[in-house]
Structures are given as C-alpha cells and as structure tokens.
Amino acid sequence: MSAPIRVLVVDDHVLSRRELEVALAAEADIEVVGSAVNSPAAVTLGSESRPDVALVDVEEPHEDGIRAVSAIKRAVSPVRILILATSDDEAHLFGAVRAGAVGYLLKPRPMDELTAAVRSVHNGVSIIGPGVASQVMKEFAAMARSEKSPAMPHLTVRELDVLKLMVGGCANQGISRRLLISENTVKNHIRNILEKLQFSAWM
C-alpha cells in the first residue's frame, strides 16, 4: 500500500478549518499532518511536517493569502498548493498562480470534489474550476484585443474547444466525452493553454 498523501490545511476560520480536517482525515489515502491559521504558522508547520499538498483557504485578506502561498512554496518546496477561494477576482487568481499555486477552486465545493482535487494535484495535475477557466478566457480575449500584444499566444482550435467547455462548467471527464478524446489529452491541452498564457507556475 502506498504512503498516504500528506496534507497541510491553512484556513483562518476555525469551523471551516475543522470541517476540512475532518473530511480529509476520513479518507484512507490522506493524512492531515497539520493545520494553520495564517502564513507564519503554515510555514512553521510545513517545514516540520513536509506535506505533499497544502490546501489553502484564502479568506484571509487578499495580500495575506497570496503571501501565504508564496511563503509556503518557498519554505516547503516541492509542496503542491491548492487554493480555495470565494473570489474569481482576476488579481487574486493570477496573483495566486504566480505565487506558485497549482490549483484554484471557487467555494463552496462538495467535500468529495475537494478530496478528489487533493489527489489530482498530488499526482501532478493542475486544477482549474469553471470560474477560473472563465477568467483565463477573459485574459486571452483581452490579449487578442490589445494592440500592445503582438506576441499573443496562439491557441489551437482544439485548445479553444477545451477552454470553452471548461468555461461552460465541464470537468475533464465531461470534456473528454464531448470531444471524444482521452482525459490525459484534455489535461495536456489545459497545460498547453496555461503555458501559452505564460502561467507555467501551474505546471
């Protein structure tokens, strides 16, 4: 049997943090190795427990949430960071990405989706929910309209198909069925989209 996925929970709300801890600990293949209320505590706990995944709820003030991602990434590399947020604000989203997040999900989410997301990022998959995909699409559209972006990345027809389905709320499995391609191919298209938009930190 393989070792459980070691998860650090970072959330400044006691009830929310406890709910996440209980849900994750109930999974046989996940071990909660610590929980923290803020960035300094997360760095200290992360350095001691060496988690595989940090699940970071960024309800705390905007800049503090981004700093938490950056600080955890620096201190606990190669931890993979999954963000939970109530906002799909562009500055918040891309700030988290540039700080080193490999996943960004909007709340509320069913707990089974969160545990599945933890497994996915641990296995090297980048996670972006429909709300996040929508922001990526907006960013791409803005780049297309801008006369100051002569080096705008070119998305293939299939990559655009994938992105549009994500914006419409399709998960990888649904995109796979709609486009008659494998889920691995869907993941590769998503990686290519993010790379072309220069968000390689998601990889």
For the chain, give the mean pLDDT: 78
Most confident segment among 34-38, 50-54, 67-71: 50-54
Predicted local distance difference test score (pLDDT) of residue 163: 77
- Report the percentage of the chain scoring pLDDT > 90: 19
User: Where does the chain hold its CATH 3.40.50.2300 domain(s)?
Assistant: 5-128
Q: What share of the chain is helix, strand, coil (3-state, %, to 5)?
A: 55, 15, 30
> For residue 5, what pLDDT is reported?
95
How is domain 132-202 classified at the architecture level of CATH? Orthogonal Bundle (1.10)
Q: What is the Cα–Cα distance from 99 to 84, expressed in whole angstroms?
A: 14
Please report the pLDDT score of residue 202 as a whole number: 35
Segments of the chain assigned to CATH 1.10.10.10 = 132-202
Q: What is the pLDDT of residue 200?
A: 36
What per-residue confidence (pLDDT) applies to 27? 94
List the structure tokens of 70.
């950056």
CA-to-CA distance for 59 and 39, rounded, in angstroms? 12
Q: Is the pLDDT of residue 86 over 80?
A: no
> Residue 126: is its pLDDT beyond 80?
no
pLDDT of residue 203: 33
- What is the reported pTM? 0.68
Topology of the domain covering 5-128: Rossmann fold (3.40.50)
Task: Calculate the alpha carbon distances from 191 to 97, 101, 127, 188, 201 in Å.
Answer: 13, 14, 10, 5, 10
pLDDT bin (cut points 50, 70, 90) of residue 38 is: confident
Summarize pLDDT for 141-188 with one digit per residue, the tens: 665 555 454 445 677 888 888 877 876 667 777 888 999 999 888 878
Residue ranges in 26-129 assigned as alpha helix (H): 39-49, 62-75, 90-99, 111-122
